[in-house]
Amino acid sequence: MEGNISNKKFSGATRYVLDDELASIVNVSMALEMPLLLKGEPGTGKTMLAHAIAKSLAMPLIVLNVKSSMKLVHALYQYDTLTRLNDSRFSDSNRDVSNIEDYIKMGKIGQSFTSEQRTVLLIDEIDKADTDFQDDMLDVLDQMEFDIIEIDKTMKAVHRPVIIITSNAKKDLSDPFLGRCNFHHIAFPDPKMMRKIIGVHFPDIDSNLMENAVTTFYRVRKIDAVEKKPATRELINWIRALKSDPDFKPKTLITGEIPYLGVLFKKSQDYQRAVEATSGGPVI
């Protein structure tokens, strides 16, 4: 397996602009078999990175979307008692009611362990869960095995998945958790990087439009007290909207008039603030 890994090096994907720094961190983490923790503002491409890795290494991607109410067991496996109860009552399925294993379903982490192929496991927004969940999960990922209590069986990972964990910058994770991952903070792309990203998504974009759109984008990001600042995703959608509008001229952006503001600001309060801030001519 070792040789297998070092042959496979990650070097970007068609829709993802990768900087060298991040590339080498991804490769080192893969080689060290350690989870990579990515922090950064929403919209800096944390989740996209996992998709890009999976795509470029041709591995299946398994996404675990962490929710605040989530318990670790749910991510590992689920014992479907209700189906079993139902089967025992009506006995019209081909499952064996006396065999509990028939009613164990693998959760996302379980799936990545049992998969025949090496997978990329994306654990998205880990900071939503409580610290117990985080620490316990890291134990499982460290040992690469977990127990299914109901059938007293230990599940061992067939292949060690490539683990990418994302977290929004708001909350700090616990020390033992941090100790077991490699860490990288993705900064919000600067205008230069942003132009590259736009270029990847719209290869045939008019340079005038790109220039004005990017400038306007960074200008509206500076509006105060906005709950959710527009991120890369919003910019891409916005440009898509601008491009599809036949009446739109890039020049209008310079005058401070911003069409489709709703694509950039999605919360009603934010939208209000943005309208107020932009209505009085160009924002300085």
Contacts (Cβ under 8 Å, ≥6 apart) of 43:
188, 230, 231, 232, 233, 234
How far is Cα 163 from Cα 142, in angstroms, rounded to an integer? 11
Helices (H), 182-267: 191-201, 207-220, 232-244, 251-254, 261-264
Residues that bind other proteins (CB under 8 A): 20-21, 24-25, 27-29, 31-32, 34, 36-37, 39, 68-69, 81-82, 85-86, 89, 130, 169-170, 172, 175, 178-179, 181-185, 224-228
**Shortest Cβ 24–other proteins spacing (Å):** 5
Of 170 and 192, nearer to other proteins (C-beta) is 170
With both helix axes pointing from N to C terminus, report the angle between 268-279 and 207-220 in degrees, rounded to the nearest 10. Answer: 110
Two tokens at 182? 């490699």
Contact predicate 228/42, CB 8 Å: yes
**Shortest Cβ 142–other proteins spacing (Å):** 11
Of 23 and 241, nearer to other proteins (C-beta) is 23
Of 107 and 253, nearer to other proteins (C-beta) is 107
**Shortest Cβ 242–other proteins spacing (Å):** 27
Of 90 and 192, nearer to other proteins (C-beta) is 90
How far is Cα 76 from Cα 155, in angstroms, rounded to an integer? 10
**Shortest Cβ 79–other proteins spacing (Å):** 12
**Shortest Cβ 216–other proteins spacing (Å):** 21
